Structure 1
Amino acid sequence: MTEPSAQEQTTPADHDPAHVEVDNSFENDSSYGDELSRYTASLTSSVLDYRHENGRRYHRFRDGSYLLPNDETENDRLDMMHEMFLVLLHRKLYLAPIKHPQRVMDLGTGTGIWAIDFADEHPDAEVIGCDLSPIQPTLVPPNVKFVVDDIESDWVDEKDQYELIHARYLVISIRDFGKLIKRCYQSVKPGGWVEFQDWDGYPLSEDGSIEDTGFKRYYNKVFSAFEKAGYETRPGPKLEQWFKDAGFVNVHVERLIIPYGVWPKDPHLKKVGAWAQAQAETGGFEGSALAALTRYEQWTQEEVILLASEARADGRKRSVHVFFHFYVVYGQRPEN
């Protein structure tokens, strides 16, 4: 097969914006209604043409850029995590000292539950949730809207737009947090706030009880695969420096503990730990591992399920006292 000549090759940059060719395949009448419906239906179907793999469903838009499922099992797990975070923060959706927000962005909104709760609390604010998957409900407060987009791609015309930009639980889904936070700096209004809530993904134990367990092996294997694919697995402790590098002032850091299970004596931590274990056992172990290990480490589905079952079994042992560090970091764009 011969290569096309230079005159035949075209790229988007080759098109003269003053001369846009008409698509005559559409019927020529006085209304764009039918054509618009047909075209947007095609676009919508491409976004909803989900990828099915190893018994789970994944997003199709920007296929492969996010390695966790978007099926009902995963959506239930995300809503459980939302409750866990509310318990952790004593029913607060955010900690930044915002006042009278008019426009708010929720990055990686998932099921949209944070955006919906925020909209209910602030009925005068417009809340925009952005995610790769259109999995959010249709019956939402009138001041909420959801958009399908990749938050790591270029943002168009979003400078100085928001009083608050919020992001939660982006671990193992973002490759360049520093770049993303700099974009947030450009998009938030002077005097506005950006808040990220995220994990140090690796589990810990003060008494060494995590050593030689399937729980530790699970995280070592799975996070190694994510790191091989270029994803950040420990964003929490790095957020403060990323915020300062981006130019934020009044940067505040809260480091919190999320236990796994009900082993803590403290009633509050016990409740948080119960939610942490419940969400992980609601498909979390398998869902977080399947794509990363089968696509990047050539594991079989059966091997991943066995690894997950070993982690689940050791996590249930009363002698294993595992916890994670979770960070809430917010900063303000300078007024000037």
Structure 2
Amino acid sequence: MTDSSAQEQAITPTANASANVEVDNSYENDSAYGDELSSYSASLTSSVLDYRHENGRRYHKFRDGSYLLPNDETESDRLDMLHEMFLTLLHGKLYLAPIERPQRVIDLATGTGLWAIDFADENPQAEVIGCDLSPIQPTMVPPNVKFLVDDIESEWVYERNPFDFIHARFLAVSIRDFGRLIKQCYRSVKPGGWVEFQDWDGNPYSEDDSLEGTGLQRYYDEIHGAFAKAGYDVCPGPKLEQWFKEAGFVNIHVEKFVIPYGVWPKDPYLKKVGAWCQIQGEASGFEGAALAALTRYKQWSKEEVILLASQARADGRKRDIHSLFDFYVVYGQRPENQPRWNLGQASS
């Protein structure tokens, strides 16, 4: 999709469309033409904002069903908490790639847009784009940031105006083909530019086997099965390095972090990270991640999902259950020696 078509609907053009497009001359005046334009604008905009409501939660309508987590205020609050958790995890840094004064940047699946806003504040020289399926971002933003409604798994044409830096964070359970997406990033970043993905290994574990047999472990087993049935990758983190290599990136760097669930760690840094992780889970995170996946793909009832989530939440509060997640930050550079005309010629 182009920037200008980011809010368009999934309208499939006729296969034999040609440049000879017939003009509709039925308008008596410019006012009538303006009235129809307003009608189309209202229709297209309302279709993006006409959210899907299900089991007491709200979901995106644009490309309905392609993302299984809610987009309501409760979920927005949780995403903002996750932003603070990731900042804590990276010691206040928004990214780890060695970029220098980027001019054009995109944040994929930007959510509430906090990353894009913070990046725009820190880099006033940069044009920053945040794209997402849901228009849930604030309207009062720095002048150098804009938000688009876009499906990042659709075809891109950003190669025509490539980026210095492409960023993506927490796309687990929302992308069906990470390898293809990362190749799209390769084609859409300038020679010498950087791409950084930050993502989970969604499988929790405990070093002392305290997670075994708990409601918390059952929760993740159940929702992972549902997401897998829907075609989503729940554990992209460990695979990012290989996908970057296959796309053609060089100077690939991998950093793995540990995220506890809860305040049970002794280390103050890990305790703070774990506190944020638990807070976002308590903020309806368990229900939000499970409702659509389990009701749509495993035919669970809403009540069954809420019970499963409550059992996971209860176990998460126990100090003798020491759950951990691995989180990966992987960045790579497009080779600098590729000529300008070769943009878009990534390996397939």
Letter in 2 for 1:309: S
Does residue 335 of structure 2 align to residue 334 of structure 1? yes
- Taking the TM superposition and a 5 Å limit, the aligned residue runs for 1:99-138 are 99-138=100-139
Number of the residue aligned with 2:167:
166
Number of the residue aligned with 1:259:
260
- Taking the TM superposition and a 5 Å limit, the aligned residue runs for 1:2-151 are 12-22=14-24, 24=26, 28-29=29-30, 33-151=34-152
Does residue 204 of structure 2 align to residue 203 of structure 1? yes
State whether residues 136 and 146 of structure 1, in contact with CA within 8 Å, keep that contact through their aligned partners in structure 2.
yes
How far the C-alpha of 1:318 sits from its partner, in A, is 1.0
Letter in 1 for 2:115: W
How far the C-alpha of 1:31 sits from its partner, in A, is 8.3
How far the C-alpha of 1:29 sits from its partner, in A, is 2.1
1:120-143 CA distance string (max 9 Å, x none): 000110000010000000000000
Work out the CA distance in 1 between the residues paired with 2:74 and 2:283: 7
Work out the CA distance in 2 between the residues paired with 1:107 and 1:256: 21
CA 1:37–1:245: 2 relative to 1, 3 Å: same
Secondary structure of the corresponding residue to residue 12 of structure 1 = coil
Secondary structure of the corresponding residue to residue 158 of structure 1 = helix
Work out the CA distance in 2 between the residues paired with 1:317 and 1:30: 66
How far the C-alpha of 1:33 sits from its partner, in A, is 4.4
Number of the residue aligned with 1:189:
190
How far the C-alpha of 1:41 sits from its partner, in A, is 1.8
CA 1:157–1:98: 2 relative to 1, 3 Å: closer
Work out the CA distance in 1 between the residues paired with 2:293 and 2:274: 26
Number of the residue aligned with 2:340:
none
Work out the CA distance in 1 between the residues paired with 2:32 and 2:56: 44
Work out the CA distance in 2 between the residues paired with 1:189 and 1:237: 26
Does residue 141 of structure 2 align to residue 177 of structure 1? no
Work out the CA distance in 1 between the residues paired with 2:229 and 2:106: 30
Number of the residue aligned with 1:3:
none
Give TM-score, length-normalised by structure 1.
0.94
Number of the residue aligned with 1:4:
none
Work out the CA distance in 2 between the residues paired with 1:17 and 1:81: 47
Q: RMSD value over aligned CA atoms?
A: 1.5
Q: Where in structure 1 are there 5+ consecutive unaligned residues? A: 1-9
State whether residues 159 and 186 of structure 1, in contact with CA within 8 Å, keep that contact through their aligned partners in structure 2.
no
Give TM-score, length-normalised by structure 2.
0.91
1:108-127 CA distance string (max 9 Å, x none): 00000100000000011000
Q: For this pair of structures, how many residues does the alignment match?
A: 326
Letter in 2 for 1:318: R
1:133-158 CA distance string (max 9 Å, x none): 00000000000000101000001243
CA 1:23–1:13: 2 relative to 1, 3 Å: farther
CA 1:27–1:300: 2 relative to 1, 3 Å: farther
1:243-297 CA distance string (max 9 Å, x none): 0110000000000000000000100000000000000110100000000000000
Work out the CA distance in 2 between the residues paired with 1:160 and 1:188: 9
Percent identity for Structure 1 against Structure 2: 75
Work out the CA distance in 2 between the residues paired with 1:315 and 1:67: 23
How far the C-alpha of 1:32 sits from its partner, in A, is 5.2
How far the C-alpha of 1:159 sits from its partner, in A, is 4.2
Work out the CA distance in 1 between the residues paired with 2:136 and 2:279: 22
Work out the CA distance in 1 between the residues paired with 2:160 and 2:13: 28
